[in-house]
Amino acid sequence: MDNLLFVSLIWLSCFLIQRIFSQFLFLDLLFNFPFTILHEICHFIIGIIFSAKPTSFSILPKIENNKIIYGSVGFMNLNVFNTAVTGLAPLLLFIPAYFLLEKFFICFYSENLLKAEIYGFIVVQLLNSAVPSREDLKIVFFRGIAGVLILILYFAGIMAVLLKIFK
């Protein structure tokens, strides 16, 4: 039980660090930038694979309507067959998060807590980046036929990660 408590404290600290960074624009941009790139690359690659025909790709943050837009990908050929998979493509980031959890536990159990904290932070950031944005979800549910199915897969991914954590 002590290990579970300690792992929980490390995960909580990783989450809190991420939340603190999000309160300061420079730190938020600095630590989210690599993960924003991964998020947008997922949209872009899946868009190519499923013939959504990407037309634009931006990872430069901008402010629109008093909100920060970290990145975006535009598409020319979204339809009922490719909208859901393209819009929810960042869910693929659950895959590296899942495998980095193993590194986290190896470091944790070998008592290399600094490395465990770093891996934990990366996993938290990957999971945060895997979450589809509001805009992604709007597009998926208004234009995508498979949105509900993929949402189920999303929660299955979360469950797989949680089972790995509390295994």
For 112-124, what is each residue's pLDDT tens digit? Answer: 878 888 888 888 8
Please say if the pLDDT value at position 142 is more than 80. Answer: no
User: What is the model's pLDDT at position 110?
Assistant: 79
* Choice between 1 and 36, residue whose per-residue pLDDT is larger: 36
What region, left, alpha or beta, does residue 65 occupy, with left being phi > 0 and alpha being psi -120 to 50 degrees? left
Banded pLDDT at 1 (limits 50, 70, 90): very low
Report CA Rg, the chain.
Answer: 17
User: What is the model's pLDDT at position 144?
Assistant: 59
Sign of the CA dihedral 18, 24, 29, 30? negative
* Choice between 110 and 87, residue whose per-residue pLDDT is larger: 87
Q: Are 103 and 119 in contact (CB under 8 A)?
A: yes
Average pLDDT, the chain: 81
Q: How far is CA 78 from CA 2, 133, 139, 144, 145, in A?
A: 50, 17, 9, 9, 12
Banded pLDDT at 145 (limits 50, 70, 90): low
Domain boundaries, the chain: 2-165
Distance CA 71, CA 58 (A): 5
| DSSP state letters, 25-43 | HHHHHHHHHHHHHHHHHHH
User: What is the model's pLDDT at position 54?
Assistant: 95
Please say if the pLDDT value at position 94 is more than 50. Answer: yes
